Structure 1
Amino acid sequence: MTETDFALPAPEWRVTPGLTPYAEALAAMEARAAAVAAGEERELVWLLEHPPVYTAGTSADPAELVDPRFPVVPAGRGGRYTYHGPGQRVGYLVLDLNARGRDVRCFVHALEGWVIAALARLDLAAFRAPGRVGIWTMDAAGREAKIGAIGVRVRRWVTLHGFSVNVAPDLSHFGGIVPCGLPDFPVTSLSALGNVSDMATFDAALALTLSGFLQTLSCPGQNET
């Protein structure tokens, strides 16, 4: 952490109730990112839910769109196909890496760590998997299963997009795609694992671990030789 980090005002923390159409959220996020880059707005952490939608990242393979039963929208983020829908907490982060360290790999690593720390507060053991971006845990059958996805974009060193965590979605909706291009791994949720099923409890865990995430963004020591 640098002296600059201490001087930054806290990001706006926004929780939007109900279901926000994906295209509407994307436009709002991109407008906020442009304003942050111009120094006209402060950073933003935005928590919301979407109606059912499949989003295509920049590496999406059409062969992995198995059953497009919901709208398919280009997302502009990295990654492949993913699903968003009711019961899934989506977090969009509009953060200024000019002030927090211009290191995208560090940002993704810190973002994974934040979600893992929040899940730990709910007594759910989650972890990173080498070679597989995202948030992983063990499902009821003892298999490695994906409980959260990470997909980001950086423009003018301001971040867009962020994470999604399956709190209590309809997991059958993931069957229309090969989630994140990983056919050999199932998806799971907090609810499916017998954990919490309400957004407010998960949001509270995110809020309690936010400061730790922000403090790790400059990744002290990661670039030392």
Structure 2
Amino acid sequence: MTEIDGIEWRVSPGLTPYDVALAGMEARAAAVLAGEARELIWLLEHPPIYTAGTSASPQDLIDPRFPVVATGRGGKYTYHGPGQRIVYLVLDLNARGRDVRCFVHAVEGWVIAALEQLGVAAFRAEGRVGIWTRDGGPEAKIGAIGVRVRRWITLHGLAVNVDPDLTHFGGIVPCGLPDYPVTSLAALGRDGGLATFDAALALSAPVFLQSLSCPA
């Protein structure tokens, strides 16, 4: 356990069940709001699971081969599983400008900067939340973002494909976008493992945190 700019930086080994992570995140958010705990950046992996955001469409669930859980984050269906880095963000926007759009933009920029360190040119796509790349072929999604903000405390966060089984995404229409494939660092030949990606995230984190204070 360590910290970055006073925020707890936690990396959980192994696979953390989704319900356990959700309960922990909710409890931490309540404690942050009450002034009883520090903000948290929590890195983990989940066992295979499909999660449905608040705008998920039933037709996007094609083959529910893994458990399906409705969740309070924004977005549609996504997959989580081994080899994918999940980052839950419990941050207090009361002290950072109260701007949800700025927050999402900053999260996107953080992931793009981390991927750049690993040799992957990633970018935002107008009208499509998430992280995209054209490295190695057609435009594909390498990272998903789904957040919730309650009383200006953030919950949920992001998922980046380091080396998951990409066939597992075939059970859903990822993020409701049937015309775009998903990819991973491993598929692009740049997989140094979760620890390597975590180090890139940590190096880029101070700039990310500074960017949360958007000008009015």
Settle same-fold status: TM greater than 0.5: yes
1:92 aligns with 2:91: no
Q: Is the partner of 1:183 in helix, strand or coil?
A: coil
- Segments of 5+ residues of structure 2 without an aligned counterpart are none
The answer to whether residue 106 in structure 2 is matched with residue 110 in structure 1 is yes
Q: How does 1:22-37 map to 2 (within 5 A)?
A: 22-37=18-33
- Over 6 Å off, 4+ runs: none
Shift of 1:9: 5.5
Aligned ranges for residues 52-71 of structure 1 at < 5 Å? 52-71=48-67
Letter in 1 for 2:155: L
Report the RMSD for the aligned CA atoms in angstroms: 1.1
Aligned residues of 1:168 and 1:197 also touching (Cα < 8 A): no
> Which one-letter code corresponds to 1:125 in the other structure?
A
| Alignment partners' CA distance in 2, 1:180 and 1:116 | 19
> 2:125 pairs with 126, 129, 135, which one?
129
1:43 aligns with 2:39: yes
Aligned length: 213
Q: Matched residues in 2 for 1:84 and 1:75: separation?
A: 13
CA distance, structure 2, for counterparts of residue 82 and residue 15 of structure 1: 22
Query: What's the CA shift string for 1:83-140, capped at 9, x where partnerless?
Result: 0000000000000000011000000000000000000111110000000000000153
Indicate if the aligned counterparts of 2:121 and 2:135 stay in contact, CA closer than 8 A: no
Aligned to 2:199: 204
Are the equivalent residues in 2 in contact too, given 1:139–1:188 (CA < 8 A)? no
Alpha-carbon distance between aligned partners in 1 of 2:165 and 2:191, rounded to the nearest angstrom: 15
What SS does structure 2 have at the residue aligned with 1:192? Answer: coil
Q: Give TM-score scaled by structure 2 length.
A: 0.97
Q: Distance in 2 between matches of 1:101 and 1:90?
A: 25
**Most deviating of 14-23 and 193-202:** 193-202
Amino acid at match of 2:115: L
- Write the mapping of 1:72-221 to structure 2, written as runs, cut at 5 A: 72-140=68-136, 142-220=137-215
Q: Distance in 1 between matches of 2:107 and 2:125?
A: 14
AA matched with 1:88:
Q
Maintained 8 Å contact 1:149/1:163: yes
% identical aligned pairs? 77
Q: Is contact 1:87–1:168 with CA below 8 Å preserved after alignment? A: yes
